[in-house]
Chain A
Amino acid sequence: MIEVRDVHKSFGTQKVLRGATLTIAKGEAVVIIGRSGGGKSVLLKHLIGLLPPDRGSVLVAGEDLACMDERRLLQVRRRFGMLFQMAALFDSLNVYENVSFVLRRERRHTEGEIRRQVAEALEMVELPGIEEKLPSELSGGMRKRVGLARAIIYRPEIVLYDEPTTGLDPVAGDRIDRLIRRVWEQLHVTSIAVTHDMKSARTISNRILMLHEGVIYADGPTDSILGSSDPLLHRFVNGISTPQNEGP
């Protein structure tokens, strides 16, 4: 469903991706792990065409995003939903307007239908009855759950999560993990998340990719990656630093 071929990306003199290559099949629950600042979010943004690669290609259902202009990309993005690291809710809109944003723009739903679907989406993220609240009135965890409701209300085929548990306490993080798992199981979406939270990765994935120095260093089922004896993987998964500060 998604194929990334030899993608390179630099920002100024800093090379972030140096030939990342991966394939994700329909219905998988994939987590991309790697060091902070290692290019995970950059890679995720390539998958949805928010960033163009300097070299290489990103194919979604056989279509190369690198060859599309922004308006063509908008059509491809209808397949995607995305939860941002800080939720990226629209400040000036209340929860109802945020969650119903896509449905209202489509102009083919009645207000009653939209209201019902928003209520369902908020129910799914365990936040019923907060339609009238503003994003500034919500906690970090609630904002992420509203962001998730906004990302899934139009039933996308692929849902992307950028650091879904970052900045949350362990309980709120666990709640988000369970929701991501539930969305994957109930809506049958392809789930792709980037995180460096190993507990979260274990809960929400059935496959893990490790991005290291701009390339995919490891790729395998969740259990085998988390239990790997590879020194680099082992140190990263168990959070062991090295005295020379080399590697993860």
Chain B
Amino acid sequence: MCRGYLLRPVFNPIYQRITSFLRDLGEVSLLGAEVVRSFRLNRPSWKDFVYQLHFIGVKSQSVVITTGAATGMVLCAQTYFQFHKVKMDTATGAVVSVGMSSELGPVLAALMLTGRVGAAMAAELGTMKVTEQIDALRTLAAHPVDTLVVPRLLALLVSAPLLTAEAILVGITASWLIGVKLLGIDSAYYLVNMNRYTIPEDVFNGLVKSVVFGVIIAMVSCNKGLTCRGGAEGVGRATTEAVVIASISILVTNFFLTLFLARLIKG
């Protein structure tokens, strides 16, 4: 008994982490089931969808373009510095292109979307929850999932791959500018090698990942907002948890998606 008492401080946080993870997983699963039900029973609101598309897709462009450009430039410079030692300067474009298309483009765009869009979703829905606006929706015979979650999810499903494609394109262009104009790599070799080693599946993988990441951001953020408790502190906590959980989920899912998609393509 004494030993159990001593071990409690060690095991209690682990136990709480596990139960919290399982609770979140259960809540997101239930939310997912309700979203499927909503798609079956209702026609999503076109107006809400367009509004969210503007907020998520159009207004996130500056963040995503900046991230894509910065990543492309840094990756190009670092790759060049290492490859230059073994006289493989012209392979830089290929490394940047493959890296941006299949890994860095989708993951970094998703992380930036989590910070900008996921946090906003959790905070907005959380505020609506604590100010009884969600209850008001329900009394007006409107299901919160139909009204709030579905338009956001649809907008992310459309926006995430487009923004990822934009990040990839901007990253590769920025790397070309740095590689050719600043570091002196021959442009023709840079582009030929890039084309030779970047296969369409790399871009496909990146876009598939971005769709999955879009679903993760929407579901985790909406769930945290809708289950928010307490006042301003609760909204702050829900927002932080949404960003942390969605970010970690994206990184973990990315690893498994990479393995799965590689196996799928190899057949």
In the complex, are the beta carbons of A78 and B135 less than 8 A apart? no
B135 touches A45 (CB 8 A): yes
By the criterion CB–CB under 8 Å, are B139 and A82 in contact?
Answer: yes
Judging by beta carbons under 8 Å apart, are A74 and B136 in contact? Answer: no
Stretch from A84-92, A187-195, A217-225, A230-238 that touches the partner: A84-92
Residue B133 interfacial (CB < 8 Å) = yes
In this complex, how many residues of chain B approach chain A with their Cβ under 8 Å: the count is 16
Instruction: Tell me, rounded to whole Å, the shortest Cβ–Cβ distance linking B114 to chain A.
Output: 22
Give the residue among A73, A89, A105, A160 with the most B Cβ atoms within 10 A. Answer: A105
- Residues in A neighbouring B133, C-beta threshold 8 A: 88-91
Q: Which residues of B contact A85 (CB under 8 A)?
A: 132
Whether A48 pairs with B41 at a CB distance below 8 angstroms is no
**Which residue of chain B has the shortest Cβ distance to A75 in the bound complex?**
B141
Query: When the two chains form their complex, are residues B140 and A102 in contact, meaning their CB atoms are under 8 A apart?
Result: yes
Of A75, A81, A88, A151, which contacts B131 at CB under 8 A?
A: A88
Q: Are B132 and A88 in contact (CB under 8 A)?
A: yes
Q: How far does the Cβ of A104 sit from chain B's closest Cβ, in whole Å? A: 9
The answer to whether B135 touches A74, judged by C-beta atoms less than 8 angstroms apart, is: no
Q: Residues of B contacting A81 with CB < 8 Å?
A: 139
In residues 130-158 of chain B, which contact A (Cβ within 8 Å)?
A: 131-133, 135-143
Q: Please, how many angstroms separate the alpha-carbon atoms of A75 and B139 in the complex?
A: 10
Determine if A48 and B139 form an interchain contact, defined as CB atoms under 8 angstroms apart: yes
Contact partner of B141 (CB less than 8 A), chosen from A78, A89, A90, A160, is A78
A86 touches B140 (CB 8 A): no
Digitize A92-129: 1 where CB-to-B-CB distance is under 8 Å, 0 elsewhere. Answer: 00000000011001000000000000000000000000
Residues of the B chain whose Cβ atoms lie less than 8 Å from the Cβ of A70: 138, 143
In the complex, what's the smallest C-beta–C-beta distance from A80 to chain B, in angstroms? 6
Asked if B135 and A71 make an inter-chain contact with CB atoms under 8 angstroms apart, the answer reads no
By beta carbon, the residue of chain A nearest B145 is A70
Cβ of A198 within 8 Å of any chain B Cβ, yes or no, is: no
Decide: A74 and B138 in contact? CB cutoff 8 A. yes
Is A77 engaged at the interface, CB distance under 8 Å to the other chain?
yes
B54 interface residue per 8 A CB criterion = no
How far is it, in angstroms, between the C-alpha of A50 and the C-alpha of B127 when the chains are bound? 18
Determine the chain A residues whose CB is within 8 A of the CB of B181 once the complex forms. Answer: none
Partner of A71, one of B128, B136, B143: B143
Cβ-based interface call for A150 (8 A):
yes
Minimal beta-carbon separation of B131 from chain A (angstroms)? 6
Q: Does B84 count as interface, using CB distance less than 8 angstroms?
A: no
Tell yes or no: B37 within 8 A of A by CB.
Answer: yes
The 8 Å CB contact of A74, one of B131, B132, B143, is B143
List of A residues within 8 angstroms of B127 by Cβ: 91
Point out which of A70, A81, A151 has the most chain B C-beta atoms below 10 A from its C-beta.
A70
Contacts of A80 in B (CB 8 A): 139
Encoded as 1 (CB less than 8 Å from any A CB) or 0, chain B from 222 to 262 comes to 00000000000000000000000000000000000000000
- Compute how far the CA of A82 lies from the CA of B138 in the bound complex, rounded to whole angstroms: 10
8 Å CB contact of B132 from A86, A105, A150, A151:
A86
Assuming the contacts A71-B37, A71-B41, asked whether A150 and B140 have C-beta atoms less than 8 A apart, the reply is: yes
- Beta-carbon contact of A77 and B135 below 8 Å: no
CB <8 Å contact, A101 and B140:
yes
Q: Is the CB of A86 within 8 A of B131?
A: yes
Additional 18 contacts, C-beta under 8 A, given A70-B138, A101-B142: A48-B139, A50-B139, A70-B143, A71-B37, A71-B143, A73-B138, A74-B143, A75-B141, A77-B138, A77-B139, A88-B132, A88-B135, A89-B133, A91-B133, A101-B140, A105-B141, A105-B142, A151-B139
20 A–B contact pairs at CB < 8 A? A45-B135, A48-B139, A50-B139, A70-B138, A70-B143, A71-B37, A73-B138, A74-B142, A74-B143, A77-B140, A82-B139, A84-B136, A85-B132, A88-B132, A88-B133, A89-B136, A105-B140, A105-B141, A105-B142, A150-B140
Among all A-B residue pairs, the 5 with the closest Cβ atoms:
A88-B136, A88-B132, A82-B139, A74-B141, A84-B132
